[in-house]
Amino acid sequence: MSPRPLHLVDSHDNLAAPKPDALAFESNAPAARTSARASRRAIRVDSSWIVLPTIAILSAIGTFTLVRSRVVTPRVVAASLATLTVETRPAAADVFIDGQLVGATPLTLSVQPGMHTLILRHGDAERAVAFTAAVGQQLAQYLDLKNVEPAVQTARLSIATEPPGAQVSVDGRPRGVSPVVVTNLSAAEHGVTVTSKSGSVERRITLEPGATKELVFSLPRSTAALGGWVSVASPFQVELFEQGERVGASGTTKVMLPAGRHDLVLRNATVGYESRHSVDVAAGTVATIAVVPPKAPLSINAVPWADITIDGTSVGQTPIGNVMITVGPHEITFRHPQLGERTQAIVVTAAAVNRAAVDFTR
């Protein structure tokens, strides 16, 4: 067998010769890149049809939610409050809720649920009302702010005469025939007059609120001018008794008694005073009895000390022991050069220990 001929290939030729596949790839690369860009653009275009509507929908939902929250929330808040209507007589009263001025009447306002204090003020008149508000509740308050006139304190007066049957008048107004009880009298001083065939008697008396006082008049039984009067001068009030019967009191104009000699007892239980007096009453005249009050000891002290005056008369410097002073009401003044002045009213009695004291350190 003859040998096969060898074919020599130049290396340069071999490197320079393009490979068919490589040439095809190189030739197709620009087209491939162009196709990829086109595909991406197509994807972006296609996705924009999804994204843009989605964004628009979400934006619409957000706007609706915001608007609804601004519209619905106040309605919810308003529904959770209570409504209060306030009216007064007269109108234009200042309205305070929990101490805060909120307007003037007539007024309608919303309040938070819970407990509140309503104060209405018009001039010097003021009213306060506590109230509790519930959710959604409708409340109304109407108050009369006119100044209330203070209730008049009245008293009663029982008037009797011996003998009975005398005409009775109080402050000049006829009140009937004795014995009689006069009601609805003011708590003040009044003039009482009883009139019979033998004459008339007048007394003055001071009535206390809610109390009933009694007045007894002894009148002459004869129609002749056989009666007279007794007048008592005393630094404190005394009652007149004859044979255990009360016939009058001092502080009045006069006490009418039959003409003749009378043994009278003058008494004041508060100061422990009692004395007996015999008096001759002449027809048509006035007999006078002057009360000379007895004296009783009084002790006075002050802390740290004080100069003392009694009824305007100086009696010395504390301590003062057993100074003698007439029974009855007195006014004591305590003076200290650095601590000032104090006044004390006392009633000195004959039946008790009398003391007066002031502590300037309190």
Instruction: Tell me which residue range forms the domain holding 64.
Output: 21-78
Domain membership of residue 252 (yes or no) is yes
Q: Map 244-287 to HEC letters.
A: CEEEEECCCCCEEEECEEEEEEEEECCCCEEEEEEEEECCCCEE
**Which pLDDT band holds residue 140 (cuts at 50, 70, 90)?**
confident
Are 125 and 179 spatial neighbours (Cβ–Cβ below 8 Å)?
Answer: no
Are 185 and 212 spatial neighbours (Cβ–Cβ below 8 Å)?
Answer: no
CA dihedral for 233, 235, 238, 243, sign (positive or negative): negative
Are 307 and 314 spatial neighbours (Cβ–Cβ below 8 Å)?
Answer: yes
Tens digit of each residue's pLDDT (9 = 90 or more) over 290-316 = 888 888 899 999 999 999 999 989 989
**181 and 228, same domain (yes or no):** yes
Give the type of residue at 122.
Answer: H
Confidence check: pLDDT of 126 > 80:
yes
Tell me, what's the pLDDT at 96? 93
Domain membership of residue 15 (yes or no) is no
Of 290, 305, 322, which residue is a domain's last? Answer: 290
Confidence check: pLDDT of 25 > 80:
no
- How much is the average pLDDT of 81-91? 88
Tell me, what's the pLDDT at 39? 53
Domain membership of residue 37 (yes or no) is yes
**311 and 212, same domain (yes or no):** no
Are 193 and 187 spatial neighbours (Cβ–Cβ below 8 Å)?
Answer: no
**Which pLDDT band holds residue 73 (cuts at 50, 70, 90)?**
very low
- How much is the average pLDDT of 41-67? 57
d(CA 45, CA 50): 9
Higher pLDDT, 162 or 333: 333
d(CA 213, CA 207): 7
Q: Kindly report which listed range (65-69, 195-199, 355-359) carries the lowest average pLDDT score.
A: 65-69
Domain membership of residue 132 (yes or no) is yes
Mean pLDDT of the chain: 78
Q: How would DSSP label each residue in 294-347?
A: -EEEEEEEEES--EEEETTEEEEES-EEEEEEESEEEEEEEEETTTEEEEEEEE
- Residue 359: partners with Cβ closer than 8 Å, 6 or more residues away: 302, 303
Domain membership of residue 113 (yes or no) is yes
Domain membership of residue 12 (yes or no) is no
* Token output for 133: 């508000």
Nearest to 226 by CA among 188, 266, 256: 256
d(CA 174, CA 164): 16
Confidence check: pLDDT of 189 > 60:
yes
Q: Give one word for 272, left, alpha or beta, with left for phi > 0 and alpha for psi -120 to 50.
A: left
Task: Tell me which range, 32-46, 250-264, 333-347, is most confidently predicted by mean pLDDT.
Answer: 333-347
**95 and 180, same domain (yes or no):** no
- Total structural domains in the chain? 4
**260 and 303, same domain (yes or no):** no
The 10 Å CB-count burial string (b at 16+, else e) for 81-103 is bbebebebeeeebbbbbeeeeee
Confidence check: pLDDT of 332 > 90:
yes
**180 and 278, same domain (yes or no):** yes
**Which pLDDT band holds residue 331 (cuts at 50, 70, 90)?**
very high
Tell me, what's the pLDDT at 143? 82
SS3 of residue 359 by DSSP: strand
